[in-house]
Amino acid sequence: MEFRNVEHVIEALSASRYIPSTEIATVVYLAAVTQKPILVEGPAGVGKTELAKSISLCMDRPLIRMQCYEGLDEAKALYEWEYAKQLLYTQMVRDKIHSVVDSADTLSEAVEKISEQEDAFFSERFLQPRPLLKAIQSEKPVVLLIDEVDKSDPEFEAFLLELLSDFQVSIPEIGTIKAKTIPFVLLTSNNYRDMSDALKRRCIHLYIDYPAIETEKEIVRLKIPGIEEALLDKLVRTVSNMRALDLKKRPCISETLDWAQSLMVLQADSITPALLASTLNMLIKFKSDAELVKERLETIIA
């Protein structure tokens, strides 16, 4: 499915259970029509990865996800030679080698003949495509999510440049492989380090912040239908207050949802300090954070 306009993006994303702001929808629409990658920034847990999933859902394209980490190299991201197959092949060739050189009269001719076979080792037959190659070789256009690109090394980032601007990759042994279809690319970053200007230039930029209270309410309403309005309001405001504290890890949307879920299970109709204290594990992931929150229970609860 292609997007018709910004309103259509909002509609389609909402239908696939993602509530976008107009800004997010505009950027997604622009990226879709101009086939440019989007570089998505924002704190952890605001729905950067979720956005990619929803786009793949509503565009009806498969999602190919590439998780970046330190030390990631092109063998893991792009392609790998299937060495087991290659080794087997050598064994087979060893048996056949007599038949290849049989017709040769001189030694140099035999060598020539063998060297003709050599390229066979590095042909697409032995190439095992990894996410990036899969994405551009796919017959059907896909959504390619390059997650946490800031965790990868500068070398890897440089290597992405060719892919992002020309949608092609160069494999030394084979040559350049051009994309069959242009994927919809999203790169996410938590700002662990700054990306290079060259990469930024190839992308359009989107910053997603923690959602406004109204948007967050809508998200909870969507994911947990039937939650009581008064409880919802209190719950979202409490989480929002908690985000203002000096925490090691601030609660994100998915934690709000977990908490809401557990409150539903407990059949709570209001949030009391005691209730918050006993369900704190759903929101807080560090012992020291929990202690800080417990100290300020009264002021946090909205």
Partner 1 sequence: MLDMITKFSACCKAAGLKVSPLEVIDCMSQLRHVDATDEAAFRTLLMANFVKSRRDQPRFLEIYKLFFHELRTSFQDHNEETTDDPDTPKQKRVKEIIERIREDLGMEAEALDNLLDYLGGDPEDFLSEVQEIHNMVEQRSLAIKVKSNMGQLSNRLSVMLKINQIRQKALQLAGELDAPGDTFTRKEIEAYFGTMLDRSFDLLTRDKRPDNVALKEVSRTDPRFLDIGEKPFATLTPFEMERTKEVTDRLVRKLKDLATRRYAARNKGVLDIRKTLRRAGRFQGVPLELHFKNKPLRKGKIVALCDVSGSVWSVARFMLAILYSLQECFNGIKSFAFVSDVAEITPLFRDNPVNDAIEKVFSESGIDTRMLTDYGSSFVRFRERHMQELSTKTTLLIIGDARSNYQNPHQEILEEMRDRCRRVIWLNPEPMNTWNSGDSEMFTYRAHCNEIRPCRNLNQLVTFIEELVL
CA atoms within 13 A on the CB side of 122: 9
Report the residue from 8, 11, 30, 181 that binds partner 1 according to the rule CB under 8 A. 30
**Window 273-302: contact mask with partner 1 (x via CB under 8 A):** --------------xx---x----------
The CB-of-134 to partner 1 minimum distance in angstroms stands at: 19
Give the residue among 144, 237, 137, 132 at the shortest CA–CA distance from 183: 144
The CB-of-67 to partner 1 minimum distance in angstroms stands at: 18
Scanning 29-37, 135-143, 253-261, 293-301 for contacts with partner 1 by CB under 8 A, the matching segment is: 29-37
Token code pair at residue 168: 């092609």
The CB-of-117 to partner 1 minimum distance in angstroms stands at: 13
The CB-of-2 to partner 1 minimum distance in angstroms stands at: 12
CA atoms within 13 A on the CB side of 89: 15
- Applying CB under 8 A, the site for partner 1 has a residue count of 49
Helix, strand, coil percentages for the chain (3-state, nearest 5): 55, 15, 30
Does position 139 interact with partner 1 (CB under 8 A)? The reply is no
Label the pairing between strands 175-178 and 168-171: antiparallel
Q: Toward partner 1, which CB reaches closer, 196 or 272?
A: 196
Strands (E), 13-133: 38-41, 63-67, 79-81, 127-129
**Window 62-91: contact mask with partner 1 (x via CB under 8 A):** --------xx---x----xx-x--xx--xx
Token code pair at residue 221: 């309403």
How distant, in Å, are the alpha carbons of 145, 211, 214, 261 from that of 268? 38, 24, 21, 10
Strands (E), 12-119: 38-41, 63-67, 79-81
Residues that bind partner 1 (CB under 8 A): 6, 22-23, 26-27, 29-30, 33-34, 36, 39, 41-43, 70-71, 75, 80-81, 83, 86-87, 90-91, 94, 121, 153-154, 190-197, 200-201, 203-207, 209, 246, 248, 287-288, 292
